[in-house]
Amino acid sequence: MPNTFSYRPTQRASRSYQQIGLETEVLGASPQRLVSLLLRAALSAIRRARHHMHRSETQARGMAISRAIDILESGLKASVDTDRGGELALSLRASYDLIIRHLMLANLHGSVEHLETAENALSPIAQAWQSAIDPEYQGLTPLLNSQQVT
C-alpha cells in the first residue's frame, strides 16, 4: 500500500518552535519589549503582504494586511498614552492612523506603493523606539534591515 500521508516535519517543527519562542518572549517581556515585538510583527506582516501581492495571492495579501492593521490599531496605537505623552503621543497616533490608511488603500487597490509607504513610515518609528527605549533588543535590527519575507 503506498504511503499517501504527506508530512513536513521540518516546517511544522520550525513553526512550533517559533511560536513557543515568541510566547516565552512575550510572557517575560517588559512593556517596552512588547512594543518592540509589535513593531517587528507589524513590519513582518507588511513584508508578507508585499510578497503575496507580487505573487497575486489576494487572500493571503488581505490576511497579512489585516494582521498589520490589527497590530497597529489594537496593539501599538492603543498603547500610546496621550495623557502623559502630550503632543508627541498625539503625533504618534496620527502616524499610526496614516500608516493604517495606506495599508487599507494598498489592499483596496492592490498597490505596492501604498505598502511601501506604510513600511517606510513605520520603519523609522521602529528604529527610533529600538534606539531610544529598547536598545538591548537586537531581534528587531535584522528585520528592519532585511528585505526577506518570513
Q: Would residue 8 count as lying in a domain?
A: no
Distance between CA atoms of residues 49 and 86, nearest Å: 33
Q: Would residue 1 count as lying in a domain?
A: no
Q: Are 98 and 73 in contact (CB under 8 A)?
A: no
Residues 6+ apart with CB under 8 A from 117: 102
Q: Would residue 50 count as lying in a domain?
A: yes
Residue 88: all three cell numbers together: 508627541
User: pLDDT-derived band of residue 130, with 50, 70 and 90 as boundaries?
Assistant: confident
Q: Would residue 11 count as lying in a domain?
A: no
The DSSP code sequence of 85-132 is HHHHHHHHHHHHHHHHHHHHHHHHHT-HHHHHHHHHHHHHHHHHHHHH
Range of the domain at 35: 30-138
For position 109, which CATH number holds? 1.20.120.340
Q: Return the pLDDT at 34.
A: 87
Q: Would residue 126 count as lying in a domain?
A: yes
Number of structural domains, the chain?
Answer: 1
Q: Would residue 45 count as lying in a domain?
A: yes
Q: Would residue 106 count as lying in a domain?
A: yes
The residue written with cell numbers 513605520 in the block is 122
User: How confident is the model over 73-102, as a mean pLDDT?
Assistant: 95
Model confidence, pTM = 0.76
Q: Are 103 and 114 in contact (CB under 8 A)?
A: yes
Q: Return the pLDDT at 25.
A: 59
Q: Would residue 19 count as lying in a domain?
A: no
